[in-house]
Structure 1
Amino acid sequence: MKNFVFLFCAIALSVFVSCDDDGPYQDYQVARPILQDAITFKAEAVSVTEPVPVVSSGKIYAYGNYIFLNDVNKGFHVIDNQNPSSPESIAFIKLEGNNDISIKDDKIYADSYGDLVIFNISDINNISIAGRIENAIYNNGVWATDVEYPQADFYELGDIDYDRDIVIGWEVVTERRSVEEYESRYNCDGCVVDSLESFNDSPQPSTGQGGSLARFKIIGNYLYVVDYSDINIFDITDVEDVQVLDDVQVAWDIETIYNQGDILFIGGSQGMYIYGIENPEKPKFISEFRHGTACDPVVVDGGYAYVTLKGGNFCGNTESGLYVIDISNLENPELKVIYPMDGPNGLGIKDDTLFVCDGDSGLKVYDKTNAPNLTLINTFENIVAYDVIPLPSSLLMIGDRTLYQYEYVDNDIKLLSTLQL
C-alpha cells in the first residue's frame, strides 16, 4: 500500500502536483491589487491638455458654439463648432472614470469614479476645476480605467478601503495551493472572483443639450443623475455650495434620463419608468412600461414615447426594435407599434422628424406626423450611428470615432461636415 501511495505521488509530481497530508497541491497564478491613495490618484486624474486623438468615442453634448465629446472613462474632448462646416478640436479635459456631463451657466457637471466634478468654462481657453464632491453619485470602489485584469487562477483583494484606495495595477505571483481550494473557488458565497466580474460593464443657451443616452439632466436649478438603480438629485442653485439631496430608488439597471416638462422618463434594461417632479427635490413615481431585457434609451414628444430596444451582447435577449408607446395617460402607458431594427442606439426628435441611430445600419429618418404610424423618409447608410442631438438648425451625430453634422434643408437633411476623431 505504501508503495502505491509513493508511486501515485511520483506520477503527480510529473504534472506539477504534489501530495501532502491534506490532499494534492499545484502551482497557481495568484493576483493581488497594487493600491494608491485615492486623493492623490484623483488629483492626478484631472487635467486640461491640448487636443488628443479619441480612443473610444462615447456620448456628445452641445453647449453654445461648442461640442463636448466623451472619451469613455478618460474624459471629454472640446470641439469649437462656431463654423459647423469646419469644426475644430481645441482641447481635451482629462477626467478619468468619466462617462457623462451636463452644462449650465458655463459650469460643467461631470462624473468621475462616482464623484461629481464641476468645471468652470466661462473662459474656454482657461478651463478650471470649480469643485468636487466625493462619492456623490455612487461609491463602489475605484479602479483605474486603463488597468486590465490579469489572467490568474486566484484574485486576492485583501482589505481594500474603498473610500481611500485605488487599484492601479496587479502583482501576479506563482504560489502553491491545494487543488481542492482551486476547484471550490466558484462555489463560495460572495467569492472574490465573482465580485470582480460583477464590477466590470445654435443660440447661446444657459443649459446645454445631451443625447438620448445621457445619464445627466439639468432641469431648472436641479441636476438629476441616474446611476445603476437610483436617481441622484443635486440642488445646483449655488455652484459653490451644491446640495446633495436624497436619492430616489427606481429599479436595477436604469440607464438613461429624459424629460418632458416636469415629467422624467427613465430608460432601463427592464423597462421605462415615469416620475413626476412637481416637487423637484422628490421625484414621485407615476407608472412604468415593462419590456424584455434590452438597452433602452427613450425620447418623448407630445403623447408618445419612442424607445429603442437593443438586444444581443450584454444588452439582453430581446429582439431589437423601435417601440412607440402611447403616454397620453401617464398612469397607463400603452405599446402601439414596434418597428424592427438591427442594432439601435440613440434617437432624437425635431418637430415632426424622428432620428434613429441603428448602429451599423446607419441613421434612419422618420416622419412621425401620423404617430404612432411612422414613415421612413431617408436612410444614411455606410456609417455607424451611435447617438444624435437635434439642434435648432442642424443635427449632430456621433459614431465610430466620427462626428457628423447635418443641416436641415426643406423637409430633408443633408450632410454638412464630418470630423474624424
Structure 2
Amino acid sequence: MKQFFFVFALMCLLSCNTDDRDYETIAVAIPEMMSKSEFRKSVEVQAAKSSINVGKIYAYEDLIFITDAFKGVHVIDNSNPTAPRATAYLKIPGNEDISIKNNHLYADSAMDLVVFDISDLSNVQVIDRLEDVFSVYDYRIPSEAEYADFSNYDFENNVVISWRIVQERREIVDNSLLVFNDAAFSTAAESSVGVGGSLARFQIINDYLYTVGTSALSIFNISNLANPIFENIQYAGWNIETMFYADNYLYLGGTNGMYIYSLENATTPKYVSQFVHWEGCDPVVVDGNYAYLTLRGGNTCGQLESVLEVIDITDKTNPTLAARYFLDNPYGLGFKGPTLYVCDGTSGLKVFDKTNPLELQQTQSFTDIHAKDVIPLPNSLLMIGEKALYQYSYNENALQLISTYRLN
C-alpha cells in the first residue's frame, strides 16, 4: 500500500499538479517561410484570374489595378467602362501597394521595390528590383491570432509568405512569442501618373516616389523611371496606414492621429504637426483648408465609435477639430468639387455636399452594397467593395451606375 501511494503521489507531481491560472489556450500564428533568393525569383506575369481577393484600387489611363493583398495585382482593361475586362495578373509576393508613372509600375515586394514596364500589356516586363530598401514591412499577422511565434524564423534570410494557425496551451508568462496583430518588425516634362484610393501608402510627386510603412517614410528618386534610386528613409510616426498629397504637403493617417509633413525639401520631408485623436483606423483626404478622415472602431482599430472627422488645417502647425459625424463602419473616402464620397463598409456608399464643411449634408446613399474605397476620376467614380468593382457617372450632381464588375 505504501508503495502504491508513493507511485500515485509521484504521478500527481508529474502530471496532476496543474494550475489553470498559469496556462491558457491561445491561437498561435506560425509563419510559413521562403528563402529570400526563392522569393525574388517568384515574381512573374500570369494570365488573368477571374476571382479577386480585394485589396486596394489604383487607376491609370484606361486601366484599373486591384491588389490581391500580399500576393499580387490584377490588371483590368477599362477602355469600355460598361464592360471592364481582366487582362493579366502580376504575381508579386509581399505586395501591398503600387504607383505608376509613364507606364512604369512600382510595387513593394516585402523588403524590395520592383519596377515593371507595362507599356505593352501583352508583354509586361520586370525591369528593375531594389533589394532590401524597406527595413520595416508589415507581416500582416492574421486577425484571429493572439500571438505570432517567430522562434524558428531567420530574419536575415527568410521572408514570411503565409501563416498557419494552431491552438496551443501555453504558460501565460511565456515571453518567447512576439505580440500582436498587424505588427511590423524592423530588421518636369508632361507625364502620365495614376491615382490611388484613400487607403494608398504610395504617392508619386514629380520625380519622387514616396512610400510609407508602419513607421517609416521612404523616398525614391524616379527621374530615371526604369532605374529608381533609393534616396532617403526617415521616421514618420506611429502605426501609419495611409498617405495623401495636397498642395506640397503629405498627410499621413495613423491609428493615433494625422501627421502633416512639408515637401519644401523633396528628399527630406519636414514634420509640421500632428492632429491627435482616439485610436482608430484612419484614411485621410484633404481639400483646401480642411482634411476629412474616417475613424473605424469596434475591432482591432481601437474604440467603439466610428466617425467622420473634419479637421481645420488653415494653420498647418495647429490643426483643430471642426466637426464630427457618426457613421457605422467607415473605410475610404474621396471628393470631387463640392461632393464628398464616404465608404461606410457594410452600410454602403454615402454622398455628402461639403459646400459648408462644418455642416455636411447627405445627398445620396447606396445601402445595398459593401463599400471599401473610392477614386473620384474626372468623368466617373470608381468604388470597390469586397465582392465588386462599381463605376458611376456624375449625372446632374447625382451618381448613376455605369457597371458592376463581380470580383469573386
One fold, TM greater than 0.5?
A: yes
Q: 1:338-377: CA deviations, max 9, x gaps?
A: 0110000000010111000000111011111122221110
> Could you tell me how far 1:68 is from its partner in structure 2?
0.3
Indicate if the aligned counterparts of 1:142 and 1:162 stay in contact, CA closer than 8 A: no
1:36, 1:272 → 2: CA distance? 35
**What amino acid is aligned across from residue 40 of structure 1 in structure 2?**
E
Tell me the secondary structure at the aligned position of residue 388 of structure 1. strand
1:332 alignment counterpart: 318
Gaps spanning 5+ residues in structure 2: where?
A: 18-27
1:245 alignment counterpart: 231
Match of 2:41 among 26, 40, 43: 43
**What amino acid is aligned across from residue 214 of structure 2 in structure 1?**
Y
Give the aligned CA root-mean-square deviation in angstroms: 3.2
> Structure 1 pair 264/161, CA: closer, same or farther in 2 (3 Å)?
same
> Structure 1 pair 156/6, CA: closer, same or farther in 2 (3 Å)?
farther
1:386 has 2:387 as partner: no
> Could you tell me how far 1:242 is from its partner in structure 2?
1.7
Indicate if the aligned counterparts of 1:115 and 1:138 stay in contact, CA closer than 8 A: no
> Structure 1 pair 283/114, CA: closer, same or farther in 2 (3 Å)?
same
> Could you tell me how far 1:306 is from its partner in structure 2?
0.5
> Could you tell me how far 1:106 is from its partner in structure 2?
0.5
Indicate if the aligned counterparts of 1:293 and 1:318 stay in contact, CA closer than 8 A: no
> Structure 1 pair 109/183, CA: closer, same or farther in 2 (3 Å)?
closer
> Could you tell me how far 1:93 is from its partner in structure 2?
0.8
1:269 alignment counterpart: 255
1:129 has 2:131 as partner: no
**What amino acid is aligned across from residue 232 of structure 2 in structure 1?**
D
> Could you tell me how far 1:133 is from its partner in structure 2?
1.3
> Could you tell me how far 1:86 is from its partner in structure 2?
1.0
How many equivalent pairs are there?
392
Matches within 5 A, 1:95-244: 95-139=92-136, 157-158=151-152, 160-166=153-159, 184=171, 186-188=172-174, 191-195=175-179, 199=183, 206-244=192-230
Tell me the secondary structure at the aligned position of residue 342 of structure 2. strand
1:9 alignment counterpart: 10
**What amino acid is aligned across from residue 304 of structure 1 in structure 2?**
Y
2:96, 2:405 → 1: CA distance? 21
Identity %: 43
Indicate if the aligned counterparts of 2:146 and 2:180 stay in contact, CA closer than 8 A: no
Gaps spanning 5+ residues in structure 1: where?
A: 20-29, 174-181
Tell me the secondary structure at the aligned position of residue 342 of structure 1. coil
1:86 alignment counterpart: 83
Indicate if the aligned counterparts of 1:64 and 1:205 stay in contact, CA closer than 8 A: no
**What amino acid is aligned across from residue 54 of structure 2 in structure 1?**
S
> Could you tell me how far 1:162 is from its partner in structure 2?
1.9
2:72 alignment counterpart: 75
Indicate if the aligned counterparts of 2:150 and 2:178 stay in contact, CA closer than 8 A: no
1:87, 1:329 → 2: CA distance? 43
Indicate if the aligned counterparts of 2:136 and 2:184 stay in contact, CA closer than 8 A: no
Matches within 5 A, 1:23-38: 36-38=34-36
Q: 1:67-125: CA deviations, max 9, x gaps?
A: 00011111111110111111111111111111110101111111111211111101111
2:164, 2:13 → 1: CA distance? 28
**What amino acid is aligned across from residue 278 of structure 2 in structure 1?**
G
> Could you tell me how far 1:36 is from its partner in structure 2?
4.0
1:246, 1:105 → 2: CA distance? 23
Q: 1:237-269: CA deviations, max 9, x gaps?
A: 113432212212122101110011211111000
Indicate if the aligned counterparts of 1:287 and 1:332 stay in contact, CA closer than 8 A: yes
**What amino acid is aligned across from residue 383 of structure 1 in structure 2?**
I
Tell me the secondary structure at the aligned position of residue 285 of structure 2. strand
Indicate if the aligned counterparts of 1:150 and 1:170 stay in contact, CA closer than 8 A: no
> Structure 1 pair 131/163, CA: closer, same or farther in 2 (3 Å)?
farther
Indicate if the aligned counterparts of 2:138 and 2:183 stay in contact, CA closer than 8 A: no
> Could you tell me how far 1:34 is from its partner in structure 2?
6.8
Indicate if the aligned counterparts of 1:406 and 1:416 stay in contact, CA closer than 8 A: yes
> Structure 1 pair 302/197, CA: closer, same or farther in 2 (3 Å)?
closer
Larger radius of gyration: 1
Indicate if the aligned counterparts of 1:78 and 1:92 stay in contact, CA closer than 8 A: yes
Indicate if the aligned counterparts of 1:141 and 1:166 stay in contact, CA closer than 8 A: no
Indicate if the aligned counterparts of 1:258 and 1:265 stay in contact, CA closer than 8 A: yes
Using structure 1 for the length normalisation, give the TM-score.
0.85
1:179 alignment counterpart: none
> Could you tell me how far 1:192 is from its partner in structure 2?
3.2
Indicate if the aligned counterparts of 2:370 and 2:385 stay in contact, CA closer than 8 A: yes
Q: Which moved more, 1:330-339 or 1:385-394?
A: 330-339
Using structure 2 for the length normalisation, give the TM-score.
0.87
> Could you tell me how far 1:35 is from its partner in structure 2?
5.2
Q: Which moved more, 1:207-216 or 1:53-62?
A: 53-62
Indicate if the aligned counterparts of 1:36 and 1:168 stay in contact, CA closer than 8 A: yes
1:401, 1:69 → 2: CA distance? 12
Indicate if the aligned counterparts of 1:54 and 1:401 stay in contact, CA closer than 8 A: no
1:416, 1:268 → 2: CA distance? 34
Q: 1:48-74: CA deviations, max 9, x gaps?
A: 111113342011000000000011111
Matches within 5 A, 1:350-361: 350-361=336-347
**What amino acid is aligned across from residue 10 of structure 2 in structure 1?**
C
